[in-house]
Amino acid sequence: MTQYFINKNLNPIIESGLMPKLLYICDVDNTHTRFPRTMHSHDDLLEIIFIKDGKGSNMIEDRHYQIQKGDILIYNNGVLHDEYSDTNANMSVYCCGITDVKLDGLPRNHLVSTDQSYVLHSGEFAANIESLLEMMHTQVKEKRPGAEETCRYLLCAMLSLILQIPKEKNLLPKTEESVLLNEIKSYIDKHYREDITLELLSQQFHISTYYLVHVFKKYTGFSPIQYIIRRRIGEAQSLLINTGDSITKIAGLVGYDNISYFTTLFSKLVGISPKKYRHFWIENE
């Protein structure tokens, strides 16, 4: 028998006085992941996705990732992401929302820095991380006594393992075009509920509409108008899932006065109508 000793000089990875808290956790199978979850972000929380099976594509900020079994997706607080799985890949994932995460040198509810990849390959840690997620899911689903406290300790263990995974640098060279793209994206993200046209954007940034579309599509894969639609529909999905607002009100909140046009766009992008999408989530939850 070999006895191993813990290093007594502990340097905590989480700032003193804060204990990460699990806000929600879900075991999502392919009946959910087959519907795209378009561009959205989360306020005041960090979201972690663990890919149990399948594959897909994600855009996080302006970076595109091909994801597969064992990958971990990190959605820092306020980071825009766009999820679209391979409909034939039977993707299943664990998804959890966390708050009160504060690491040295990073903003609150950030797990990786902006110069690192938002997708980690769990490798040798995969089985342990999946097991911890399964235990947390069981605690919450079965409403076991002390589940909240148990999940806090399990969550700390999971975060500690994730932070042991080597991080890939993802520094993109800053070019004149990439700087312009970020300015255009920032403007759209702030005003996407408003009536934005290509002409308005080209005037705002003093460039031709042709060059505007060229630069935007080169870096994001979407035209500016497609991006605006995905931002609006992504926000609508969040409102359909998390509020009891009427579909007419939600359409207006994301920039559509015509409910029929909103329904058509939503159905085309997501695959089902807003009403069916809401019922689908409520019934499955």
Domain with 208 in it: what CATH number?
A: 1.10.10.60
Alpha-carbon span 240 to 278, nearest angstrom = 6
3-state secondary structure of 167: coil
What is residue 136's predicted lDDT score, i.e. its pLDDT? Answer: 97
Total domains in the chain come to: 2
| Residue 25 and residue 158 in one domain | yes
Clarify whether residues 197 and 155 are in a common domain.
Answer: no
Report the sign of the C-alpha dihedral through residues 232, 234, 239, 245, in that order.
positive
137 & 220 share domain: no
Q: Do 187 and 81 sit in the same domain of this protein?
A: no
Closest alpha carbon to 73 in 124, 33, 111: 111
Alpha-carbon gap, residue 188 to 191, rounded angstroms: 5
- pLDDT number for residue 69: 94
- Specify if 170 maps to a domain: no
What CATH number does the domain containing 101 carry? 2.60.120.10
Distances in Å between the Cα of 116 and the Cα atoms of 166, 180, 259 are 10, 21, 41
pLDDT per residue of the chain (285 residues) written in tens, 0 to 9: 777 666 666 566 666 567 899 999 999 887 767 778 888 888 889 999 999 998 888 888 878 888 999 999 999 999 988 887 555 567 899 999 999 999 988 999 999 998 889 999 999 999 999 999 999 999 999 999 999 999 999 999 999 999 999 887 765 567 888 889 889 999 999 999 999 999 999 999 999 999 999 999 988 888 999 999 999 999 999 999 889 999 999 999 999 999 999 999 999 999 999 999 998 877 655
Same domain, 155 and 210: no
Residue 208 in contact with residue 202, Cβ under 8 Å? yes
Are residues 33 and 105 located together in one domain of the fold? Answer: yes
pLDDT score recorded for residue 226:
94
Nearest to 55 by CA among 41, 43, 39, 70: 70
Residues ≥6 apart with Cβ < 8 Å to 132: 154, 155, 157, 158, 161
Question: Do both 112 and 220 map to the same domain?
Answer: no
CA distance 113 to 107: 9
Residue range(s) defining the domain that contains residue 115: 21-162
Please report whether residue 279 resides in a domain. yes
Is residue 242 domain-shared with residue 220, that is, in the same domain? yes
